[in-house]
Structure 1
Amino acid sequence: MEVVFVFPKFQLNLTEKRERRLILTLSFLLPALIMTVYFASRHMAPFGNSSLLTVDLGQQYVDFYAYFRHCLLHDPSGIFYTFQKALGGEMFGIWTYYLLSPFNLILLFFPDHVITSGILVITVLKYGAAGFTFAWLLIKTGVQRHWTVLGFATSYAMMGWMIANQLNLMWLDAVVILPLIVLGLLRLINGQGCRTYIFWLAALLIINYYMAYMVCLFAILFFIYEAISQYQNRPALLKQTGRFIGSSLLAAGIACVTLLPTWYSLSLSKSQYTVTDVKFKFEYFPFKMLAKLFLGGFNFSQMPKGMPNLFIGSVVLVGVIAFFVRTDIKSRRRWMALIISLVLLLSLCFQPLDLLWHAMQFPIWYPYRFSFVVSFWLIWLAANALKADFVPDPAQILIMVVVGAVAIIYVWVNLKSFSFLSQNQVMIGGLFYVAAICLVALPQKQAFFYQVIFSLFIIAEMTSNMVTSLNHITYVSQTEYGNYEQVMTKEVAGVTSKHKGLYRMTPTFMRTKNDPLTGQFNGGSVFSSTLEKTMPTFMGNIGQPDGDGFVAYTNGTELTDSLLDFRYLINQDSVLTGSTSATGLTQSGLPTVSTRADLADYQKIKEDGTVATYKNPNALSMGFISSSKVLSLKNTTADPTRYQANLFASLTGNQKDQHLFTAENFNNVLFSNVKQQTKLTGAFLQKANLLKPGSVTLTFKPTSNDSYYLTMGADMDEDNVTVLLNGKTLSQYPTYRHTIVVNIANHDKGKTVKIQLNFKKSTLWLQNFTLYKFNNSEFKSSLKTLQAHPLNVTHHPQRSITGTVTAPHNNATLMTTIPYSKGWHVTVDGHPVTAKKAADTFLALNLSKGTHTIHISYWPPLFNLGLAISLICLAGCGSLYLWRRRQH
């Protein structure tokens, strides 16, 4: 007996134009409302005391957004340069990677302490915009025309990649713009004009060059697919190829105003870490990707090292299979689609292709960042296959069933390999897949009710995946962020409002390494993908925590504080204890990351509750007359105390300054369940009984009130040992790769100082573990030489400095602690001069005897050239458009 499904003959009484508008509106509203409801249910600001801040969004981007607000509202010169980035650095690279999204303008309406609400609004709008642009693509190309558009648009807007990467807000613009680029590409191939393609590709290149690079690679593949699928003759193909190449170059030319300065910025930072040793291997067994097609296939462990996020829903998966089994689709198009699909899927697991998509650099966290184009491709194929005229025959249904069964069985058998999946998720995924086959097999797809059910099915599955996935993630509370921001801002404002001038300050506590950007002060820390490589190198040399993309000025000495003009230090006098959250923030809201006993030598100028501000009386100006020996100084030691002494001696020209730090012995060493060693520095310690705790206790009595410092190598991090100072856990930033310097005593003459090392593993390498005494009186005596002729700064917006200095003799060296860059342009008494590089890090000048007016201004290298190329390309586009209008 034949079963016939008859849907009610209800149809909305809408004209085609009104129906299209309603579908487009709902394609925006549905993803946006679904995400808003979910965020509200999680009590995320402004709906409660939680927030969207997690991982890099909470530790990096939110501070850039705060800086974005301050620049546009108060000081636009900060777009190019700021001293709030580490010791100072260009900002154009940060703007072109993180901040040029038009959506960010919404943040101007949200003050810093509630900026998390603005971030939520932007996130929701980007979800909605992605749904809208994909719906626009489907309707404009006629691939889907009616209410099924809602389902495909929601699948695209809420695909697994979007859910996993919503915290990387700056990447989401690529998902929004990709459908518009593809629409422009299709029009270009079909001879309907190049404007759409050029405009949107140029826009994405300007908004985020990194994701645009991936879209450009995909555009090449998509062009090959469409051009060959439509192939008629060689002249037509050559004409299409010429239009594609020319339009792509024109779009890149329009974007040169940002691309060229950014390229220069990257040449000093990110490109320094490009991988050249490529291994031809699979990164994992390719079939493991099947696990990511199941509902909820994402958790926190997938962020640092995981597989590509490919969830697109069961209906779309059935649609992809349908594309390849539909005999009414030309075989050439199906074969080309298969080739492109294999290239994309191979890119997700074969290392050389993976590296190519990531511009020859392995991602630090968030692997397979380009997988959004793979998801787009699969959804696009499904939308082309699941049209109203398609009703699969029994053979096609059998293929869909077999393919799905193989995937389900493989994942079920290997379930232990996938920490992000449970048996329930696999079973639910299987049920959704079976239901999707049944839905696709139904006839009468033109019926309104069928199209609504079709879309609702997809929306329900995509929502389920979103809820399951995001429920695995923890977030920073609004209180944690807002309270900390207000405390920091208030304390900084209390200093800067009374003490004008150009100087640096640093807190001994930290929420993120980008605190200076939020707090609006010149600090010494930053976390950015575009950090110049010279900065981590210098910071590592002087004993500060550093990495490829960050520096943290948390281990200053009296020497580095003074030399680098850290004039004010903000300290949490009474350390509030509290448990640490998933974000690393203590319940006190002020996590201490620095031990500074030497604050006893500084002047307390302000106290507000548990927070106090100290003034460094020995701080130098950011520029001062020094010995010319600093121009040729090279680092030849891995000992930060020796490098600090050598740097200081090269500035003063006094050889005895090289002996400011002297090694000291501990008075007593007690080994507890640890095999004894006679020499500590560099010793390899081992527990006697592996099942019992092991520790080493060291004590000493300072013979003077000078500062005492302890150096510790990278192997002595929190993973291997807990360090107690006088019975309390040593406050220290946890991540460092070079030897650090820790201040453990000051004004403690005759007192017993105890250091206890508690093993976390069976062995411990006391790498560069040495106690040093700092000669405070000798340091202050030599410092007077550098204090004698300072650069008196009279004007200092973000990207320029004006001041006067008196050189005591000819060929004098004006040393600054401004990081050297070719972007600096220097005039002395109105005449341009060439800057020099001191200590491989800082800007310096040669001066003749007398008083001089110094003006230093920053302008991004290649910006003018990029601007000129952009204007020429824009003029060319305009001229071409006007000429064609006249022709028509």
Structure 2
Amino acid sequence: MSGYFMYRQMAPFGSSTLLTVDLGQQYVDFFAYFRHTLLAHPSGFFYTFQKALGGEMFGVWTYYLLSPFNLILLLFSDHNLPTAIFWLTVLKYGAAGLSFAWLLLKTKVQKHLPVLAFSTSYALMGWMIANQLNLMWLDAIIILPLIIWGVIRLIDTGKIRTYVGWLAALLIINYYMAFMVCLFTGLFFIWYWLSNSADFKAAVASLRRFVIGSLLAAGIAAITLLPTWYSLSISKTQYTQTDWSFKFEYFPPKMLAKFFLGSFNFNQMPKGTPNLFIGSLMVLGALFFFLQRNRKPLTRWVGLAITAILALSLCFEPLDLLWHGLQFPIWYPYRFSFVVSFWLVWLAANALQPEFVPKLWQLGAVTGICAVVVAYVWLNLKQFSFLDQSQMLIGTLLLVAATCLIALPDKRPWFYQLAFVCFVIIEMSSNAATSLNRISYVTEPEYQNYQRVLATQSNRVTSADHGWYRMTPTFMRTKNDPLSGQFNGGSVFSSTLEKSMPTFMGDVGEPDGDGFVTYTNGTLLTDSLLNMRYIMNQQTTGGELSNPDINSVSTRADLVDYKPIRKDGLITTYRNPYALPVGFLANSQILSLENTTKDPTQYQANLWAALTGNARDRHLFSAQNFDRVVFDNVRQQTKLTGAILQKTNLIKPGNITFYFTPKTNDAFYLTLGSNLIDSNVSISLNGRPLAQYPTYRNTIVVNIADHQKGQQVKLQLHLKKSTLWLQNFTLYQLNNQQFKAGQQKLAAHPMTVTHHSQSRITGKIKVNQASATLMTTIPYAKGWHVTVDGKTVQPKRVAGIFTALKLGRGTHTIRFSYWPPLLNLGILISVLSLMICSAYIYWHRRHQA
């Protein structure tokens, strides 16, 4: 793989990188956070305000970052993370092959040169090629053979140490893939246990050891499993699938096409069939395993049953759902198919022994099966976008050549073994190159130029202002920019994002989804409430982006209300004079606020009114009419909001242009329903493309004018399809003066932060009345421990997401400190499990002696 990557000029050997899809849009920023936390800011290990508005990080560590290979990242700067990722990827490929080779050698299933063939097939299997970008999953491929070696040792010798140690390690490193490995390990144990138990007593003893070993491994890993369980309970498990049916997800024989060379392309990532490619020799070897009469019938029949279960899991919805922890995956389907590839390669390694010479009937049976598969795939070739006729021809020829290689009578000479290895290496390498050539990658300059701009701008702010605040850019490379740029922001993309975060952000008009939020659509009100003290904005010229490496995703005409404090080339940084502190006294109405509207501007106003206690603030935003609307090749409508626009002539472009002239210098905002996304319509403002994050599932708020009294504003919609639903398309005017009055009232009683880190905040506040409510924009979480003047208090959840306290008269010292729920219990269970495991191993040794 190193040679292929060098040929593709991947950094450090060229200007390309391995960054693509989630690796380039998500994981690389987590790797930057990994470096920052271990090298400079350890307080962010359990919690950070760089994750959206703030969030726990234990789930992030246990899913993305606990691989020991990640220590390599500490040797590289943020600027050179693409090079670090190259070495991570190459080393994990190598480690996967090494671990499988170790299994074959320790079990004596194979020896000498052929070991290289089987380990290469395992390391370069189709699943590995398709998922090399999901670096955090690859440790499971490395550790699986070691766990299986532990199972074999447990049954053969009664020793549990290897099994317990490696299973515990995988449970700690990546609980998600470990779950799939645990299911497969149970199946493998059944097969090997039934095949090798000498008598009933020995079988019972092996079963007892397996159960005890599994429980001890889980107990040892409790230090991460229990806090992770809590993390998942407030994030990913909130989306657990409850609507499923007993059905096949596709016609099962379609998966057979994945055994042909190059059976992967980009379209297979979001929704495809399982990645099963393991090479011709391995497929044939697995088939021959079931035809070898020198094996126990029980071994073959149980093996066949397990193969059937695995095959059924690859197409039958309930089993597929089970393997994925009752959650259908978003992108990368059939993530567990690596265990199927392991199983098939393992069967092939057992079958293709040097002394094995297939009989004529065996050759006929296998040839017949292959002929049927080839015929089916060839006749249905148009259904497989990843295959063409040349691939089919090559795949068929490889099957023929592999059959001839296996049929040779004498397999012991070194030149036969060398040919066997070379055949596998050539085929597996060809599949990797064919598949990966279809994937595009981020170039190193694209990554480094943006990273340099973001780091420079954020560092200039944070080095000058050491207080507690949030900041946001109007441009974005990824939703995890705050993690790589090291600033408290409002955006994130993480599978372990607390569900309350996208719920709140969607309610106030920000783009959100299951696992992501982006703070790209702020208003004067939300900027103030969320303490967005600084905004970094890229200037545009002539409607085009000034820097191709910087993608503007936000339109903020209301930045004229803020003070520009620095201009570095194309980037201007603004200070928000209306940013409220992280904590301030508010009206007690906030404690009982519930969201009863789907209109984000109304919810913002209701939230503000509950904080100020002023009922008039519920009308901060008022709906406005456009002065004039021009329809071009679009059927005219009298009522715009909710209207369905239709082109008059389907061939010609369809446009609708809105004009209005503000009569005040207030800020004007436009709401856009989830149907008005980039794939349906393009929007221009005053002749320039409207900078906006392209996808959203709830109604968003877009700022289109501010301080433009008497200046005509032109908004144009360009239909991309024959019809367009103007969902929640409404113009609103914010009462700037009333907003400022409310802001001054809330800012009059701040909590002054005296010390802060990512997981601790200490502040002082003076309360003049007998009872008051301290409102904070710290996201509520059970892990927050709060004291007032040294006494523990129970915080309250407000607006479904934030933390508030009830305070009495006087000057108070408030301390917030975060500690992951269930971590102490996990530590206790892990320590006890280690002690029990050590005692068991000691007892077993004494008993054997």
TM-score category, normalised to shorter length: over 0.9
CA shift for structure 1 position 879: 2.0
Residue 195 of structure 2 corresponds to 229
Offset from partner CA, 1:329-371 (integer Å, 9 cap, x none): 1111110110000000000000000000000001000000000
Residue 868 of structure 1 corresponds to 828
Residue 289 of structure 1 corresponds to 255
Preserved contact between residue 542 and residue 688 of structure 2 (Cα < 8 Å): no
SS at match of 2:669: strand
Preserved contact between residue 260 and residue 866 of structure 1 (Cα < 8 Å): yes
SS at match of 1:181: helix
Offset from partner CA, 1:674-715 (integer Å, 9 cap, x none): 111111111111112222221111100000111000001000
SS at match of 2:581: coil
CA shift for structure 1 position 142: 0.7
Q: Are residues 292 and 523 of structure 1, via their aligned partners in 2, closer, same or farther at CA, if it must alter by over 3 Å?
A: same
Report whether the alignment pairs 1:672 with 2:622: no
Report whether the alignment pairs 1:636 with 2:602: no
CA shift for structure 1 position 235: 2.7
Q: Are residues 648 and 488 of structure 1, via their aligned partners in 2, closer, same or farther at CA, if it must alter by over 3 Å?
A: same
SS at match of 1:543: coil
Preserved contact between residue 576 and residue 588 of structure 1 (Cα < 8 Å): no
1:54 corresponds, among 20, 31, 45, to: 20
Q: How far, CA to CA, are the matches of 2:250 and 2:686 in structure 1?
A: 48
Which shifted more, 793-802 or 548-557?
Answer: 793-802
SS at match of 1:190: helix
Offset from partner CA, 1:100-156 (integer Å, 9 cap, x none): 000000000010011110011010000000000000000000100111000000000
Residue 649 of structure 2 corresponds to 689
Residue 25 of structure 1 corresponds to none
Report whether the alignment pairs 1:434 with 2:394: no
1:139 corresponds, among 105, 109, 131, to: 105
Q: Are residues 434 and 48 of structure 1, via their aligned partners in 2, closer, same or farther at CA, if it must alter by over 3 Å?
A: same
CA shift for structure 1 position 500: 1.2
Residue 86 of structure 1 corresponds to 52
Residue 712 of structure 1 corresponds to 672
SS at match of 1:130: helix
Preserved contact between residue 160 and residue 841 of structure 2 (Cα < 8 Å): no
Report whether the alignment pairs 1:803 with 2:769: no
1:499 corresponds, among 465, 470, 489, to: 465
TM-score by length of 1: 0.95
Q: Which amino acid aligns with 2:381?
A: L
Offset from partner CA, 1:42-69 (integer Å, 9 cap, x none): 1111111100000000000000000000
Report whether the alignment pairs 1:848 with 2:808: yes
Q: How far, CA to CA, are the matches of 2:627 and 2:758 in structure 1?
A: 50
Matches within 5 A, 1:151-230: 151-230=117-196
Residue 662 of structure 1 corresponds to 622
Residue 7 of structure 1 corresponds to none
Q: How far, CA to CA, are the matches of 1:885 and 1:225 in structure 2?
A: 27
CA shift for structure 1 position 587: 6.3
Q: Are residues 133 and 598 of structure 1, via their aligned partners in 2, closer, same or farther at CA, if it must alter by over 3 Å?
A: same
CA shift for structure 1 position 198: 0.2
Q: How far, CA to CA, are the matches of 2:593 and 2:793 in structure 1?
A: 22
Preserved contact between residue 158 and residue 206 of structure 2 (Cα < 8 Å): no
Q: Are residues 578 and 730 of structure 1, via their aligned partners in 2, closer, same or farther at CA, if it must alter by over 3 Å?
A: closer
Offset from partner CA, 1:191-244 (integer Å, 9 cap, x none): 340000000000000000000000000011111111122244333222211111
Residue 841 of structure 2 corresponds to 881
Offset from partner CA, 1:250-289 (integer Å, 9 cap, x none): 0000000000000000000000000112211001111111
Preserved contact between residue 78 and residue 799 of structure 1 (Cα < 8 Å): yes
Report whether the alignment pairs 1:741 with 2:701: yes
Q: How far, CA to CA, are the matches of 1:875 and 1:240 in structure 2?
A: 21
Preserved contact between residue 215 and residue 373 of structure 1 (Cα < 8 Å): yes
Q: How far, CA to CA, are the matches of 2:354 and 2:506 in structure 1?
A: 63
Preserved contact between residue 578 and residue 588 of structure 1 (Cα < 8 Å): no
Q: How far, CA to CA, are the matches of 1:840 and 1:313 in structure 2?
A: 53
Preserved contact between residue 293 and residue 310 of structure 1 (Cα < 8 Å): yes
Residue 685 of structure 2 corresponds to 725
Report whether the alignment pairs 1:341 with 2:307: yes
1:537 corresponds, among 479, 494, 503, to: 503
Q: How far, CA to CA, are the matches of 1:206 and 1:530 in structure 2?
A: 16
Preserved contact between residue 257 and residue 869 of structure 1 (Cα < 8 Å): yes
Q: How far, CA to CA, are the matches of 1:73 and 1:200 in structure 2?
A: 28
Report whether the alignment pairs 1:833 with 2:793: yes
2:779 corresponds, among 804, 809, 819, to: 819
Which shifted more, 558-567 or 679-688?
Answer: 679-688
Offset from partner CA, 1:154-176 (integer Å, 9 cap, x none): 00000000000000000000000
Percent identity, aligned pairs only, is 63
Q: Which amino acid aligns with 1:803?
A: G
Preserved contact between residue 543 and residue 687 of structure 2 (Cα < 8 Å): no
Report whether the alignment pairs 1:377 with 2:339: no
Q: How far, CA to CA, are the matches of 2:726 and 2:40 in structure 1?
A: 49
Q: How many residues align?
A: 848
Offset from partner CA, 1:522-561 (integer Å, 9 cap, x none): 0000000000000000000000000010000000000000
Residue 295 of structure 2 corresponds to 329
Q: Which amino acid aligns with 1:611?
A: I
Offset from partner CA, 1:731-779 (integer Å, 9 cap, x none): 0001100000000001110011011111111111111100000111111
Q: Which amino acid aligns with 1:430?
A: T
TM-score by length of 2: 0.99
Q: How far, CA to CA, are the matches of 2:334 and 2:489 in structure 1?
A: 34
Residue 592 of structure 1 corresponds to 552
Preserved contact between residue 47 and residue 55 of structure 2 (Cα < 8 Å): yes
Residue 516 of structure 1 corresponds to 482
SS at match of 2:290: helix
CA shift for structure 1 position 878: 1.6
Q: Are residues 394 and 578 of structure 1, via their aligned partners in 2, closer, same or farther at CA, if it must alter by over 3 Å?
A: farther
Residue 26 of structure 1 corresponds to none
CA shift for structure 1 position 97: 0.2
Q: Are residues 707 and 587 of structure 1, via their aligned partners in 2, closer, same or farther at CA, if it must alter by over 3 Å?
A: closer
Offset from partner CA, 1:487-528 (integer Å, 9 cap, x none): 100001111111111100000000000000000000000000
Coordinate RMSD, CA, aligned = 1.1
Report whether the alignment pairs 1:623 with 2:583: yes
CA shift for structure 1 position 576: 8.5
1:444 corresponds, among 407, 410, 419, to: 410
Q: How far, CA to CA, are the matches of 1:443 and 1:422 in structure 2?
A: 35
Residue 228 of structure 2 corresponds to 262
Q: Which amino acid aligns with 1:766?
A: L
CA shift for structure 1 position 811: 2.1
CA shift for structure 1 position 76: 1.4
Q: Which amino acid aligns with 2:449?
A: N
Q: How far, CA to CA, are the matches of 2:570 and 2:602 in structure 1?
A: 35
Matches within 5 A, 1:306-317: 306-317=272-283
Residue 32 of structure 2 corresponds to 66
Q: Which amino acid aligns with 1:259?
A: L
SS at match of 1:856: strand
SS at match of 1:714: coil
Q: How far, CA to CA, are the matches of 2:741 and 2:449 in structure 1?
A: 42
Residue 649 of structure 1 corresponds to 609
SS at match of 2:710: coil
Report whether the alignment pairs 1:701 with 2:667: no
Q: Which amino acid aligns with 1:832?
A: T
Q: Which amino acid aligns with 2:217?
A: A
SS at match of 1:848: strand
Q: Which runs of 5+ in 2 are unaligned?
A: none
